[in-house]
Structure 1
Amino acid sequence: MQEKILNTATEMFLYYGFKSVTMDDIADKLGISKKTIYAHYSTKNKLVQATGSHLLQTISEGIDEVRAKNLNPVIENFEIKRFVNQHLKGEKTSPHFQLKKYYPKIFNKLIEEQFNVLEDCVGENISRGIELGYYRKQINVPFVCRIHFVGMMGIKDKEMFPLEEFSEQDLTEEFLNYHLRAICTQKGIKTLEEYLSNEK
C-alpha cells in the first residue's frame, strides 16, 4: 500500500502541483481513508519529501539506463532530455515552482541531490565527448557542469519564462541546443544539426 500511495501522490503532485493536492484528494483517488495514508506518512510534508526522493531516484535510474547505451555524446543529451520530460508532466501547474515556494527545505535538499546526479552525468558526457572529438578540448568541465545546472533550473522560472510565451518542451530543447553549440567542435555541430534535422 505504501508504494501505491507514493506512486499515486507523485503522479498527482506532478500533474496538479504540490500545494494544490490535499491528502483527501490522494485518499479519494486511491479509494482509501486518509487514516491509511497517515499510517504510512504522518504529515503531508513527509509525503512530499518521499515523492520528491522517489521521483529523483526514478529519473536517476532512467538516466543511467540511457548512459549505459553508450550513445554518441551529443545525441545522449537529447535522449536524457526525452526521458526526463516523460517523467515531469505538470507543465500547467509548475510543480517545481510550487515545491520551491511552499516546501523550501525539501526543495533545497532535492536540488542538492539533483545537482550531484547532473554533475556526474554531464561531467562524464563532456569528458567522453572531448575524447571522441565532439566537444572542444579546452572546456572547463566543472564550470560547464554548473552553468548547465544553473541554466536548467533558470528556465523553470515562470516569471522569467511565462507559460503563455514559452512551453517547457520548447525551453528544454532551446537550452540544450544553446548548451551544445557552446561546447561542440565542428564535428559535434554537424552531428547536432543532422540529429535536429532528422527530428523535424
Structure 2
Amino acid sequence: MKEKIIKTALEHFIQYGFKTFTMDDLAKELGISKKTLYEHFATKNILVEACLDSFIDTMKAFDFTQGEGSIIERIFANNVKIQQMYKVTTNRPLWELQKHFPELYERLDAFLLDTNFEWIDYMLEQGRKEGIFHNHINEKFYKAFYVSMNLARCSPKYFPETEFPLWDTILNSTEYFLRVLVNEKGLKELERVLQSQRQQSAG
C-alpha cells in the first residue's frame, strides 16, 4: 500500500504542486480514509520526503547516455522521455517545494546540480568525439552558464508560464544551449534535429 500511496502522491504533486494537492485530495484519489493514509505516513512532510526519494531513485536509474543517433538527437529524446515519465506541465511543484519544504528542495537541488554537471561532462565529451562541438570550450564557465540560465528559466519573474509554456521553454533553452557549443558540422546536425522535431510536433 505504501508504494501505491507514494506513486499516486508523486504523480499528483507533480501535476498540481506539493502544497496545492492536499492529503485530503490524496485520500479521495486512493479511495481510502484520511486516517488510513496517516497510518502509513504520519505527516505530509514524511510523505513528500518519500516521494522525493522515489523520484531521485528513478532518475539515478535513468541512463541518459543510452539511445540512438548523435548526442544532439539524444538530448532532445531525453527531454521527451522525461516529459512522458512524469507528465509535468508546470514549474509550480518546484516553486511549492522550495517555499513549503525548503530542506527537501535543497536536497533535490543538490542532486540535480550533480546530475547536470555529470551530464554536461558526458555531453561535451561525446560532442567532441562526434566532431560536432567546438574543441575549445570553457567547461567551468559553461556549467555556471547552464545552471544559472536554468534557474532563470524556472522563475516566473523572468518566464511567466502564461507567456512561456514549460516544455516550449525547455526546448527553446536546449536549442540555445547547444548553439553555443556546435561547430559548423554540429550546426547542420542541430538544424536537422530541430526540423525533425517540428515535423513530429506538426504531425
TM-score after normalising by structure 1:
0.90
1:123 corresponds in structure 2 to: 121
2:189 corresponds in structure 1 to: 191
Write out per-residue CA displacement over residues 160-183 of structure 1, whole angstroms, 9 at most, x where no aligned residue: 111111111110111111100001
How far is the alpha carbon of 1:50 from its aligned partner?
1.7
| Count of residues paired in the alignment | 198
- Deviation above 4 Å: which 4+ runs of structure 1? none
RMSD of aligned alpha carbons: 1.8
Give the counterpart letter for 1:25 in structure 2.
D
Q: Does the C-alpha gap of structure 1 residues 92 and 86 become closer, same or farther in structure 2, counting only changes over 3 Å?
A: same
Q: Equivalent residues in 2 for 1:19-58 (5 A)?
A: 19-58=19-58
Distance in 1 (CA, whole Å) between partners of 2:96 and 2:87 is 14
* 1:16–1:93 CA contact under 8 A, matched in 2: no
1:91 corresponds in structure 2 to: 89
How far is the alpha carbon of 1:12 from its aligned partner?
1.0
Q: Does the C-alpha gap of structure 1 residues 92 and 176 become closer, same or farther in structure 2, counting only changes over 3 Å?
A: closer
* 1:53–1:110 CA contact under 8 A, matched in 2: no
SS in 2 for 1:67: coil
Greater CA drift, 85-94 or 95-104 = 85-94
Distance in 1 (CA, whole Å) between partners of 2:140 and 2:39 is 44
Give the % identical residues. Answer: 31
Q: Equivalent residues in 2 for 1:119-158 (5 A)?
A: 119-158=117-156
Greater CA drift, 136-145 or 168-177 = 136-145
* 1:19–1:102 CA contact under 8 A, matched in 2: yes
How far is the alpha carbon of 1:93 from its aligned partner?
6.8
How far is the alpha carbon of 1:70 from its aligned partner?
5.4
* 1:133–1:187 CA contact under 8 A, matched in 2: yes
Q: Does the C-alpha gap of structure 1 residues 76 and 35 become closer, same or farther in structure 2, counting only changes over 3 Å?
A: same
